[in-house]
Amino acid sequence: MADFRPGGRLTSHEAIALVAEVFEEHRPPPRTSAPDGPLGWSGYDAARARAAERTGAEESVRYGTAVVGGHRCVLLVFEFGFLGGSLGQRAGDRLEAAYELAGRTGVPLVSLVATGGSRMQEGMLALGQLQRVARAAAVLRAARVPHLTVLRDPATGGGWATVGAGADVVLALAGAQVGFAGSRVRPPEADPSAYTAEGQWAAGQVDEVVVPGRLRGTLARWLGALHRDSAGPPEPAPVPERLSAAEPPVSGWDAVRAARDPARPRAEAYLARYFTHRLPLSGDRCGGVDPGISCGVGVRADGRAVAYAAQCGTATTPAGYRTAARVIRLADRLALPLLTLIDTPGAANGAEAERAGAGPAIAEVFAAIAEARVPVTTLVIGEGGSGGALALAAPGRTWVTRDCYFSVIAPELAAAILKRPPEQAPATADQLRLRPQDLVELGVARGIV
């Protein structure tokens, strides 16, 4: 059911002007239909005619080729003033044509979504347009063409659940209503903050909330980062430069203490040095966000784009692993080299983490790294605690810093398992051979930064 609340929202013309320097509208072949649509809904044709006269749009969806921030793309724009931006057969024709045009030309698809759902005047035939969109999106993904979406106000119903949530990068305008349930159909006691752009970002469903004045620049940076000059395989991401003045540790316990030193360089310092600017990818799309992992696409001084997933020194939660897996798979599909930074005492192991699927989430990252067709570069910058750290490591392309360790288990836990007193942890650290130089000698790491 379409949710239509007029007033105070961007028209399709205003949305296009907000982001594009050039827009050339395309139209699919005309569709003939019975009077008042497939259901013979009394007054439907008249309502469509009034909507067209009021908005200047032929349908609830417009599409065409565009230039956004100097970058070519296919622009798909909803007109909410046309029957609440609802989806019917003719809107489905335009959606499918937009995806097909992006795939055929190989330029990114940018969707500006503002919709209340499926058009009830066309019944199940309207709802079936969601399957058309899903098929078109699958073809676009197979072609390795990126899709960026912007959630305007409102982005609800099937349009959010397909064109919106199905995109590679999901941006939302500040204050926009975003949710599967529109305002007229959600439970009256529901928390309204859950249905906002900010609420969806906090729940891991949106990558970034953007104010309108920054939208064109944000889209331009994304389009620039995802543009590729060559169809060949990407070059590996360079290994980050050394940021620490520490000397290689003498003992295993020295390595552990250096990795746990709060003053040593962390992921933020490495990422800030490595990239000129970064574009965040946030959330696991399952309702979770881990502030202890930083993911996104960064652009280096030479213009090269590199996807990254960086642990930030805390125990990584299932949401963090699922976010990392999502970014790894996106980098692989869009042919972006990947950088991973390892710094965690290990995976979160509390009851909440177990209920949230710690094991399957870690397995997902191992699988994503193993399946990646793009080169992955890894640097261990601090603690490398067991499988929770190894999941992000690239086999054969892992380097280590001088103030890190990488171990099958933390020395304190190893001592406890071996029924040794706590004071034996330093000696156990030596036995584990977890120092940077040990890791190079063992073939775990290729070198010390």
**Confidence band for 4, pLDDT divided at 50, 70 and 90:** very low
307 Cβ contact list (under 8 Å, min separation 6): 295, 296, 297, 298, 327, 328, 330, 331, 336, 337, 338, 339
Report pLDDT for 231: 66
Burial of 418 (0-12, 13-18, 19+ CB in 10 A): exposed
For residues 102-132, b (16+ Cβ closer than 10 Å) or e, as one string?
bbeeebbbbbbbbbbbbbebbeebbbebbeb
Whether 389 has a pLDDT exceeding 60, the answer reads yes
Distance between CA atoms of residues 328 and 375, nearest Å: 11
Q: Where are the alpha helices (DSSP H) in 106-211?
A: 123-127, 129-142, 157-159, 197-202
6 confidence band (pLDDT: 50, 70, 90)? very low
CA distance 115 to 5: 10
Report the C-alpha gap between 159 and 80 in whole angstroms. 12
Both tokens of residue 198?
């900010």
Which residue type occupies 334? Answer: L
Alpha-carbon distance of 442 to 6, in angstroms, equals 66
**Exposed e or buried b per residue across 186-211, where buried means at least 16 C-beta atoms within 10 angstroms of its C-beta:** beeeeeeeebbbebbbbbbbbbbbbe
Q: Tell whether the model's pLDDT for residue 171 goes beyond 80.
A: yes
217 pLDDT band, cuts 50/70/90, is very high
Calculate mean pLDDT across residues 49-70: 96
- pLDDT tens readout for residues 425-444: 999 999 999 999 999 999 99
Give 180-212 pLDDT, tens digit per residue: 887 777 888 888 888 999 999 999 999 999 999
Confidence of residue 233 (pLDDT cuts 50, 70, 90): confident
Rounded Cα–Cα distance for residues 376 and 236 (Å): 7
C-beta separation of 100 from 133 below 8 A? no
Q: Is 346 left (phi over 0), alpha (psi -120 to 50) or beta?
A: left
Query: Averaged over 443-449, what is the pLDDT?
Result: 96
pLDDT band at 244 (very low <50, low <70, confident <90, very high): confident
Q: Does the pLDDT of residue 129 top 60, yes or no?
A: yes
Rounded to whole angstroms, how far apart are CA atoms 185 and 105? 39
Segment 266-293 shows an average pLDDT of 96
Which residue type sits at 431? Q
Residue 230 has a pLDDT of 64
15-37 burial: b if 16+ Cβ within 10 Å, else e: bbebbbeebeeeebeeeeeeebb
**154 Cβ contact partners less than 8 Å away, ≥ 6 residues apart:** 3, 5, 9, 80, 114, 115, 116, 176, 177, 178, 182, 183
Q: Does the pLDDT at position 164 exceed 90?
A: yes
In contact, 78 and 100? CB cutoff 8 Å: no
Look at the chain and count its residues. 449
With contact defined as beta carbons under 8 Å apart, do 91 and 136 qualify?
no
Q: Which residues pair with 87 in a beta bridge?
A: 118
pLDDT at position 20 is 97
- For the chain, give the mean pLDDT: 94
Instruction: Report whether pLDDT(354) > 70.
Output: yes
What's the confidence (pLDDT) of residue 198? 95
Phi and psi dihedrals of 374, rounded to 5? -95, 155
| Mean pLDDT in residue range 84-107 | 96
Q: Which of 293, 271, 272, 267 is nearest to 382 (CA)?
A: 267
Phi and psi of 237, rounded to 5°?
Answer: -65, 135
**Does position 116 have pLDDT exceeding 70, yes or no?**
yes
CA gap 418, 420 in Å, rounded: 5
Separation between Cα atoms, residue 123 and residue 23, nearest integer Å:
32
Query: 342 or 5: which carries more pLDDT confidence?
Result: 342
Beta carbons within 10 angstroms of residue 370's beta carbon:
8
